[in-house]
Amino acid sequence: MNNNNYCVIMAGGVGARFWPMSRNSRPKQFIDILGTGKTLIQLTYERFEQIIPSENIYIVTNKDYCQHINEQLPQLHPSQIISEPARRNTAPCIAYAVYKIYKLNPQANIVVAPSDHIILKEQEFLSIVKDALEAVEGKDILMTLGITPSRPDTGYGYIQYMDADPKDEQNYHVFKNQNIKKVKIFTEKPEYDMALSFLQSGDFLWNSGLFIWSCKAIISALEKYLPDISVLFSSMNPVLNTDEEMLQIDSVYTSCRSISIDYGVMEKAPNVYVFVSDFGWSDLGTWGSLHEHREKDEHHNAVYGKNVMMYDTTDSIVHVPNDKLVVIQGLEDYIVVENDNILLICKKGDEQKIRQFVNDVLIEKGEQFI
């Protein structure tokens, strides 16, 4: 393994679209949501451990979830758990980790990954990550992994790419790998007709939210495009990786704005590339996406629960406790979930409304249900 390669796993999200199974106190990354006997963060860690030295894998999470990390990944040294005092989206999260790693190893190359993605073709994924880490080493380029779309999905952002420009002498060598393309534009989640046109065009990819770059390249980009955030974390350099770090990080996050790395850097920088990939990926953002990946019966129902009886029900996902007897009749394309005395029944096609349900519950019923 290359000792200059590092991995940063982002594990601070609340997973609101997986409510009521995902709760503020225990979000989806800390749950065995796939029924494999391991949580999503455990699966993610074990995946990267195959190609990244274990001591070079860092978890960035909210301070409230550090105990979950300690319990589920006890092999980690405390210094490998980066605790955020507040949620400020992905740019501050990444900046915090990058500056810590850069102080330890200025030659570091980093893969940044969410903690809750599904990777079905694991060895193909790991091969792509290794190739991408080699491609960015010692170069001033930022890379993301783009997924070849299989359908006009409106739940993902998209990346349009273009082929190499031979006049781009500085980075033309990157295109020796025919799967690495220059990014033309990032596009937010589209309406269906637009997503269909993206699929038909053949030069659009799903934005996976997986990034690869050298420490030097991303720090340079942060200094240029997010100077306010860069100044905050670079000012901590004297205390990073020391006992005094936690004494200062609260004030840094208090002053830090909330912004994504996509909007703050990737959509603005001219040196962004995408690795065209296909490794059975899903961001597992919704119950509908989980329905796609779970084993289904002859009526296309995905059922978790030992005492569920289904009649005239199709294309639905049911997740209930094993000790609960549930009888369902006449549903088509529904989500039925019970967890901790909360029952959700929702049309699968309307699952984007779950965020609004959560907000309404918080207002009307209080935090005990969130």
Burial of 315 (0-12, 13-18, 19+ CB in 10 A): middle
Sequence-distant (≥ 6) Cβ neighbours of residue 227 within 8 angstroms: none
User: Is the pLDDT score of 170 beyond 70?
Assistant: no
Nearest-angstrom CA–CA distance, 2 and 51: 8
User: Is the pLDDT score of 169 beyond 80?
Assistant: no
Residue 236, both tokens: 């901590």
pLDDT average, residue stretch 263-290: 90
Taking alpha carbons only, the member of 140, 143, 135 closest to residue 173 is 135
Task: List beta partners, residue 111.
Answer: 7, 212
Contacts of 45-48 spanning 24+ positions with Cβ under 8 A:
45/9, 45/73, 47/119, 47/122, 47/125, 47/126, 48/7, 48/9, 48/111, 48/113, 48/129
Residue 70, both tokens: 């300690």
Task: List beta partners, residue 109.
Answer: 5, 214
Average pLDDT, the chain: 91
Proportion of the chain in helix, strand, coil states, percent, rounded to 5? 40, 25, 35
| The pLDDT value given to residue 357 | 95
Q: What architecture is domain 5-282?
A: Alpha-Beta Complex (3.90)
Domain spans of the chain? Answer: 5-282, 287-369
Helix (H) or strand (E) holding 184: strand 180-187
For residue 177, name the pLDDT band (cuts at 50, 70, 90): confident
Nearest-angstrom CA–CA distance, 214 and 248: 26
The residue count of the chain comes to 370
pLDDT average, residue stretch 149-164: 85
> Distance of alpha carbon 35 from its chain centroid, rounded?
20
Taking alpha carbons only, the member of 141, 122, 127 closest to residue 212 is 141
**DSSP, residue by residue, 89-103:** -HHHHHHHHHHHHHH
User: Is the pLDDT score of 41 beyond 70?
Assistant: yes
Share of the chain above pLDDT 90, in %: 72
Residue whose pair of structure tokens reads 């080493």 in the numeric block: 137
Taking alpha carbons only, the member of 209, 255, 260 closest to residue 228 is 255
pLDDT average, residue stretch 3-14: 94
> What angle do helix axes 245-255 and 227-234 make, rounded to 10 degrees?
160
Longest dimension (CA), the chain: 67
Q: Which of 23-37, 60-74, 126-140, 319-333 bottoms out in mean pLDDT, i.e. has the lowest?
A: 23-37
pLDDT average, residue stretch 122-142: 94
pTM of the model: 0.90
pLDDT average, residue stretch 35-58: 95
pLDDT average, residue stretch 346-369: 91
pLDDT digits (tens, 9 = 90+) for 233-255: 999 999 999 999 999 999 999 99
